[in-house]
Amino acid sequence: VGVHLSRATQSVSAGETYRYRMNFDGGEHLETDLIVFSAGIRPQDALGRGCGLDIAARGGVVIDNHCRSSDPRIFAIGECASWNGSVFGLVAPGYSMARNLAGLLMGEAAVAFTGADMSTKLKLLGVDVGSIGDAHGATPGARSYRFIDEANSAYRRLVVDASGKHVLGAVLVGDNSYYDTLLQYAQNGIALPADPAALILPQGDGAPALGADALPDSATICSCHNVSKGAVCAAIDSGCSDLAAVKGCTKAATGCGGCAALLKQVFEHELTARGVAVDKSLCEHFAYTRQELYG
């Protein structure tokens, strides 16, 4: 494997030995049979540059902890902004910046932006990849557990702190069904079982399940809109009797949608706890559960 860094491709032409030839700006070239274009994000900071604002080395309008640029009259939030040298390509940090800035502009007590949780699942049909917290184990003293399932093309890595009591991060490839549970362990500091590796073992092999009842009211259900379990419970108590009403009241699962399954689990658990019958039909037009359909 050869890794070519800091190369800017000027053009792609027909190759002599291989199918394609990538021509770099330095006069070098590389021939290959396959080119995969990975389009991440690049800060759209042209307006800021034109205004003479400070721009980070890798792009993005430089902002302070209150989203203020080098011109105190101009603010920047979202993917065009660079905070502490970082550009956030997820929706949750943008919403967090917006909330803090809105409060500041309304004269409320200033709340500093201190970064954001970058945990996320890749939204690509047929490709299960998830990353949580300190996925690379950069925290001093961090320990890792790995599970590799070659038969099912799955890889799981769990990163815990030096004490082995709390989750710091995780990497999931090939199977994201563990994501919600591991995310809650990481976000809420929930104590790990005696054998942390059990959290990434195949389901049914002793892996402990983390039910909705185990989550504290402070647990974050929706990172995009910063909705806690307590807020979901409050919405139910205020009269929201179906999932659509809870979403409308709290905005949970209306951003990226990654928390939809967890929200449904919490909603159904809370209804049951209140003695309300839970309709588990596939949809309002089909009065059968999944078990009844395939049983």
Mark whether 159 and 227 lie in a shared domain. Answer: no
Q: How far apart are CA 266 and CA 251, in angstroms?
A: 15
Label residue 179 exposed, middle or buried (CB < 10 Å: 0-12, 13-18, 19+): buried
**Same domain as 193, residue 166:** yes
Note whether residue 234 is domain-resident.
yes
Asked if residue 291 belongs to a domain, the reply is no
Asked if residue 196 and residue 269 are part of one domain, the reply reads no
Assess contact for 67 and 113: CB atoms under 8 A: yes
Question: Residues 165, 147: contact at Cβ < 8 Å?
Answer: no
One domain for residues 98 and 131: no
In a domain, 278, yes or no: no
Residue 112, domain member (yes or no): no
Which residues make Cβ contacts (< 8 Å) with residue 11, sequence separation at least 6?
A: 23
Using the 3D structure, point to which of 55, 72, 105 is the last residue of a domain. 105
Q: How much is the pLDDT for 103?
A: 94
CB 53 within 8 A of CB 61: yes
CA distance 224 to 95: 7
- The verdict on residue 280 lying in a domain is no
Residue 123, helix vs strand vs coil: coil
Q: Write the CATH number for 172.
A: 3.30.390.30
Residue 50 sits in a domain whose CATH number is 3.50.50.60
Asked whether residue 293 is domain-assigned, the answer is no
Q: How far apart are CA 266 and CA 202, in angstroms?
A: 23
The residue out of 176, 210, 244 marking a domain boundary is 210
Give the whole-angstrom CA distance, residue 149 versus residue 121: 19
Question: Are both 30 and 14 inside the same structural domain?
Answer: yes
Closest listed residue to residue 161, CA positions, set 133, 142, 179, 182: 142
* Owning domain of residue 202: 120-210
Residues 33 and 66 in one domain: no
Residue, of 125 and 91, whose pLDDT is higher:
91
Residues 124 and 200 in one domain: yes
Residue 256 located in a structural domain: yes
203 and 231 fall within a common domain: no
pLDDT higher than threshold 80 for residue 45: yes
| pLDDT confidence tier of residue 39, bands split at 50, 70 and 90 | low
Predicted pLDDT at 292 = 74
- 135 and 202 housed in the same domain: yes
Angstrom distance (rounded) from CA 94 to CA 103: 14
pLDDT digits (tens, 9 = 90+) for 180-206: 889 989 988 888 988 999 999 887 644
What three-state secondary structure class fits 243?
Answer: helix
Split into its structural domains, the chain has a count of: 4
pTM of the model: 0.68
Sign of CA dihedral 47, 50, 56, 61: negative
Sort strands 20-24 and 29-32 into parallel, antiparallel or unpaired: antiparallel
Both structure tokens of 144: 């890792």
Q: Which tops the pLDDT comparison, 185 or 278? A: 185
Q: Let me know if residue 284 belongs to a domain.
A: no
Q: What confidence score (pLDDT) does residue 204 get?
A: 61
Return the pLDDT at 67. Answer: 97
CA angle 43, 260, 78 (to 5 degrees): 15
- Same domain as 186, residue 224: no
Confidence of residue 226 (pLDDT cuts 50, 70, 90): confident
> Do 140 and 191 sit in the same domain of this protein?
yes
